[in-house]
Amino acid sequence: MSPANSHQKLSRPGLLYAFGAYGMWGLFPLYFLALLPASPFEIVSYRIIFSLIFCALLLTITRGWRRYVVLLRQRRILLTMALAGVLIYANWQIFIIAVVSNQVLESSLGYFINPIFTVVLGVTILKEKLRPLQWVAVGISFIAVLVLTFSYGKVPWISLALATSFGLYGLIKKQVGPRVDAISGLTMESMWVLPIAILQLVIVGNLVGLTFVGFGVGHTLLLMSSGILTALPLLLFAASAKRLPLTAIGLIQYSTPVVTFLLALFVLHEAMPSSRWVGFILIWVSLLVLTVDMLTSARTARLARAAYGATLS
């Protein structure tokens, strides 16, 4: 996203696209639960296969194959998207395992932690310097993870794995930047992990059997729709990113784990003991601190640009 985008006005279509994308991601647990009795590994395999098919269809409709072939010829982009594909595969697999094993609350925690982990990546990999409030947010989130570890009786591996895989995936996508559009990116990622999907289907078929046929037409159609439901929020997000400032996107992203959290609590009725509440509240406090810092930083940058513009006029 360009610097100019960070201070552009809010766009109503942009807001609708953003909330549509993050809302769909938040409701994904209900969709994946509807795919039972398919195993998590079968579900992810079909998600990869039908995402690739749907993306190929979109490339055909939008005449994007020439652009895609140009990207395939760039070795650096090709290898980078291979790593992105492995990371998003891991993220999908861990998330669906969490959903079907009644650990949706822990999965929502992972996406609450993700913005904090992204800040940590900025320090460790991009060598960025943290502002004081960012240090405070990281410190509070670290305490929250310790509290949750004691409340669970174990390290919340699902939450940390989701935050880590998606954080690294986001870092890679940022490195690639505007050179790879959403559909070409998802096509390339799906292409790289297609062998994993096929291997998983072979193993699942031999061990417990596949559910693609034999469980009704509705079940088959739901599995096939995974490609559309994977690509659609990505397209909505890409459309919103062109119309909204970066700060707005950063705030709206919290709607996904909020929706997932509410689903787990009030629809799926997962247990939420007081010790777990303490950990979640600490994470929310760290996100509040991070949000205040982000808004303050954006306002300072906006005032600085305005002052600089005034000196030139």
Tell me, yes or no, whether 135 lies in a domain: yes
Least confident of 130-134, 201-205, 258-262: 130-134
Tell me, yes or no, whether 187 lies in a domain: yes
Tell me, yes or no, whether 169 lies in a domain: yes
Q: Are 101 and 157 in contact (CB under 8 A)?
A: no
Per-residue pLDDT tens for 19-41? Answer: 999 999 999 999 999 999 999 99
Tell me, yes or no, whether 3 lies in a domain: no
Q: What average pLDDT score do residues 256-278 get?
A: 92
Q: How many CA atoms lie within 13 A of 295 on its CB side?
A: 8
Per-residue pLDDT tens for 72-116? Answer: 999 999 999 999 999 999 999 999 999 999 999 999 999 999 888
Q: What average pLDDT score do residues 131-136 get?
A: 88
Tell me, yes or no, whether 161 lies in a domain: yes
Tell me, yes or no, whether 132 lies in a domain: yes
Tell me, yes or no, whether 91 lies in a domain: yes
pLDDT at residue 206 tops 50: yes
Cα 50 from Cα 223, distance rounded (Å): 9
Tell me the residue range of the domain where 277 lies.
Answer: 11-312
Q: What is the pTM of this model?
A: 0.87
Task: Pick the more confident residue, 46 or 237.
Answer: 46
Domain count, the chain: 1
Q: Are 232 and 183 in contact (CB under 8 A)?
A: no
Tokens linked to 150 = 């004691």
Tell me, yes or no, whether 112 lies in a domain: yes
